[in-house]
Each structure stands twice: as C-alpha cells, then as structure tokens.
C-alpha cells in the first residue's frame, strides 16, 4: 500500500493530481464493504468528490483547448485528444469539451460545481443548453435552469427542458417557437420536414436511412470541418453553412463506396458495408449497385496494376480507390479528415526508397503528411492483419520515457 501524505495548502497542482490518482487507484483495488447502507453512503460521497474532480478536469481541458496544445503533439483537435489519450467515447468527449469552453460564461454554475453544490450532470446539461446563446440569453437560461435544479427537477428533466431552451427564449421575445415535428414515422424511407418561421427563416427536422446518410456525410462532412484556428462556430453552425454551400452549387460531387463480396451482388445473403463499417443489407447493396457504377478492387498484380515499384512516384487511380476503401479517415489515430480528402503517403518515404506499391501506401491528411515528413520520430507506425497502417502520435510523457530522459519541469509540477 502506498502512503500519501500531503499538505493541501502548500502542494502544487501536480502533487494534488498525483495524490488523487494514488487514492483512486487504492480505492479501485479494495473490495467494497458488505454493508449495503455503508456502500450507499460511500457511493454518494465518492460521486460528489468525482463531480468536483470533473470541475478541475474542465479547467485543465479549457487551458489545453485555448492554447491549441494538442496540435503541437499531432492531434487534429481537442476532442480527438480526449478520445485517443483519455479513452473517452465521442459523446463523453463532446460533453467535457463543451463544459471546458462554456464554464467561463456560467459563473454561478461553475462556483456551485466546484464547491460540490451542483453535480456534473446538471453542469453538463446547462452548459450544453447555453452553448449557442449570446451572453444575455446565456445568463437568462442559466437562471431558469438553476431554478429548476433548486425546485428538485431531475437531471433528465432539466436536460429535456434544456433542449427546448430556444423555445423559452423565443416565447420571451414574442417570436414563433420551433414547431413539433411528427416523429411517429416509419424508418424505412428517409424524410425531412421543413417549416417557415415568421421572420423568414426555416426550421428543418428529419431522418435519413443508411444509404442517404452516407451521401450526407460524404458531402457535408468535409465541408463542415473547422476553417481554422479563428473559426469559433460549433458543429451545428458549420453543418448549416455546408448545406447552404451544397444547395448553392458551391461544392463538388461526392461518391459512396459500398464494400461487398461478389456473391452478395449475385444473390447471396452476406451483408455489405460502408467504408466506416456501417452494415448494409445484401438486398439494399444490390439496389445501390443497379443505380451506380460497379468497379472491382483487386489486391493483386492481375487485372489492375497495383504495384508500381520505384519508378513511379504518384499512386494510380486504382490504387487510390483501394486505399479509400481501407482508410475511411486519415491513417493517424484520432484524425477525422475523410480518406477521400487525404493524400497518398509512402509509409517509409518515397525519397528514402519506398516503392509505390499498394502494401506500402497509406492515406494521410495534408497536415499530418507534412507533420510525418518533418518529425518522423514522433510517429509510431503499425500494420494490422488486413494490411492497414495506423500512425500513432505518442503522448509527451511516452516520448520522454522512450528516450530515456526525465519529464520536463512542466510535467513534474504545475
């Protein structure tokens, strides 16, 4: 058992974090008491402590995000860092990033959260509700939602009301509220409802099946990426701008790749799949094939020349088609740039003698391709059984230990 003795008032932030980590590790190893009443009390106390730790984590993430530190270590975004290094699911990473970015606008929520008077669930719900409001509406929404908390509403009910916060503001301003779209529809065909508002705008709600969703993602996804460090729009705003660009013709045509066996096209039952792994029923795959061009992707030196050797530097169209099937996104772990927008990368470097052969190529976004060329020592490259390469950017501490050195001062104490 590791002893932890620390002066809370004099300890550095790093010392406090290390102490909290040691205590958490010891708690995880211990067997819970046999008394249900004791465990109930311990669970409530530990959950409250966890909420306060989440408040501290939001502060750390906020500084990392504002300083764009993750880009320096090869991550395309703070959310990808949260997923890759902290092991968070997409929803959890989005929730924590929203909290980190909005806590400075929620003074009362932040104070109550940090002192244990407000749970993480309530704080996350309120932060999500005000994320797209201006500062005046933000303060009004914070008061309304905190009032619901004080009245004893559950976090789930506050979350439901938080989704309708724009309705509350619209009612206050005397404008039309978002209409209640009919959600009792079948999920066999795609559908979209569109209703014009009094001020000339338009409310849109709908659902897309897997085939149409693939077209949506392939067309709008790349256009909805952040435009740069100064792009402060959230994903919903960027998606709306991308849709407007497509409707006005300011986009290029896209394609949907469906991967299946020959037997599936000739009547078999084996399902097909999209490049992101989404399964497609065999019957639907055959229907798509009837309305689209079908081209075989052969991983061999027979029908399609996939192995071009050293004399040819640039990959052929057939090679790129295969690579886009293998790589739905950039080969760098955590990077979300679609493979269709990536560059063909020679894994070992063409200048260093890497041939332009399909088993020595991968897809990298332009930023990571340049990062790999400039800092090859910062990437770990692995290859799986399917022939797909994965580039991983180790964390700062991993690199330091691998080099046999000591962590820099900023990693030892804060």
State the number of CA atoms in the 13 A half-sphere of 343 facing the CB.
Answer: 14
Question: Is 56 among the domain residues?
Answer: yes
Sign of CA dihedral 205, 209, 214, 219: negative
Of 188-192, 204-208, 353-357, give the range with the top mean pLDDT: 204-208
CA distances from 119 to 50, 51, 96, 298 (A): 9, 6, 14, 55
Question: Is 407 among the domain residues?
Answer: no
Distance in angstroms (rounded) separating the CA atoms of residues 301 and 307: 7
| Between 351 and 337, residue with greater pLDDT | 337
Residues 108, 230, single domain; the answer is: no
In tens, the pLDDT along 234-284 reads 888 888 888 877 776 644 445 566 777 767 777 788 888 776 677 778 877
**Residue 215 token pair:** 């077209």
Residues 52, 112, single domain; the answer is: yes
Q: Is the pLDDT of residue 10 over 80?
A: yes
Q: Is the pLDDT of residue 35 over 90?
A: yes
Residues 72, 206, single domain; the answer is: no
So what's the pLDDT on residue 414? 37
Please give the tally of structural domains in the chain.
4
Domain ranges, residue 52:
31-173
Residues 46, 167, single domain; the answer is: yes
Please compute the mean of the pLDDT values over residues 210-232 and round it to a whole number.
77
Contact 106, 130 (CB under 8 A): yes
CA distances from 367 to 74, 231, 357, 374, 375 (A): 9, 17, 23, 11, 12
Question: Is 249 among the domain residues?
Answer: no
Contact 128, 141 (CB under 8 A): no
Residues 238, 267, single domain; the answer is: no
Q: Is the pLDDT of residue 348 over 80?
A: no
370 pLDDT band, cuts 50/70/90, is confident
Question: Is 24 among the domain residues?
Answer: no
Please give the mean pLDDT across all residues of the chain. 75
So what's the pLDDT on residue 40? 94
Residues 152, 79, single domain; the answer is: yes
Residues 157, 54, single domain; the answer is: yes
CA distances from 172 to 132, 133, 166, 175, 199 (A): 17, 14, 10, 8, 15
So what's the pLDDT on residue 281? 82
Question: Is 330 among the domain residues?
Answer: yes
């Amino acid at each position: 058992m590791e002893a932890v003795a620390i002066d809370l008032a004099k300890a550095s932030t790093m010392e406090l974090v290390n102490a909290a980590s040691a205590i958490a590790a010891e708690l995880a190893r211990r067997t819970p008491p046999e008394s249900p009443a004791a465990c109930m009390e311990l669970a409530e106390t530990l959950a409250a402590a966890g909420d306060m730790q989440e408040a501290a984590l939001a502060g750390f993430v906020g500084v990392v995000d504002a300083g764009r530190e993750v880009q320096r270590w090869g991550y395309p975004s703070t959310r990808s860092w949260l997923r890759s290094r902290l092991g968070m699911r997409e929803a959890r990473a989005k929730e924590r990033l929203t909290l980190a970015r909005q806590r400075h606008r929620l003074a009362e929520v932040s104070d109550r959260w940090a002192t244990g008077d407000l749970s993480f669930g309530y704080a996350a719900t309120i932060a999500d509700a005000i994320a797209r409001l201006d500062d005046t509406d933000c303060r009004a929404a914070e008061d309304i939602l905190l009032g619901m908390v004080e009245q004893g509403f559950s976090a789930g009910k506050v979350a439901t009301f938080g989704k309708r916060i724009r309705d509350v503001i619209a009612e206050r301003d005397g404008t039309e509220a978002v209409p209640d779209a009919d959600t009792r529809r079948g999920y066999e065909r795609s559908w979209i409802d569109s209703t014009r508002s009094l001020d000339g705008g338009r409310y849109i709600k709908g659902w897309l099946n897997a085939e149409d969703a693939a077209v949506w993602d392939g067309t709008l996804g790349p256009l909805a990426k952040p435009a740069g460090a100064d792009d402060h729009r959230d994903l919903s705003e960027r998606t709306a701008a991308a849709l407007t660009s497509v409707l006005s013709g300011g986009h290029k045509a896209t394609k949907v790749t469906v991967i299946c066996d020959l037997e599936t096209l000739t009547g078999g039952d084996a399902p097909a799949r999209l490049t992101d792994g989404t399964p497609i029923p065999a019957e639907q795959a055959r229907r798509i094939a009837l309305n689209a061009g079908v081209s075989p992707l052969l991983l061999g030196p027979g029908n399609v020349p996939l192995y071009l050797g050293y004399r040819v530097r640039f990959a052929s169209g057939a090679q790129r088609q295969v690579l886009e099937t293998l790589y739905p996104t950039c080969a760098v772990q955590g990077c979300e740039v679609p493979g269709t927008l990536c560059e063909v990368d020679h894994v070992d470097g063409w200048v260093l003698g890497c041939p332009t052969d399909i088993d020595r190529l991968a897809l990298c976004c332009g930023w990571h391709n340049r990062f790999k060329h400039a800092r090859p020592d910062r990437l770990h490259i692995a290859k799986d059984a399917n022939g797909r390469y994965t580039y991983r950017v180790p964390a700062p501490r991993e690199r330091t230990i691998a080099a046999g050195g000591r962590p820099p001062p900023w990693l030892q104490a804060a």
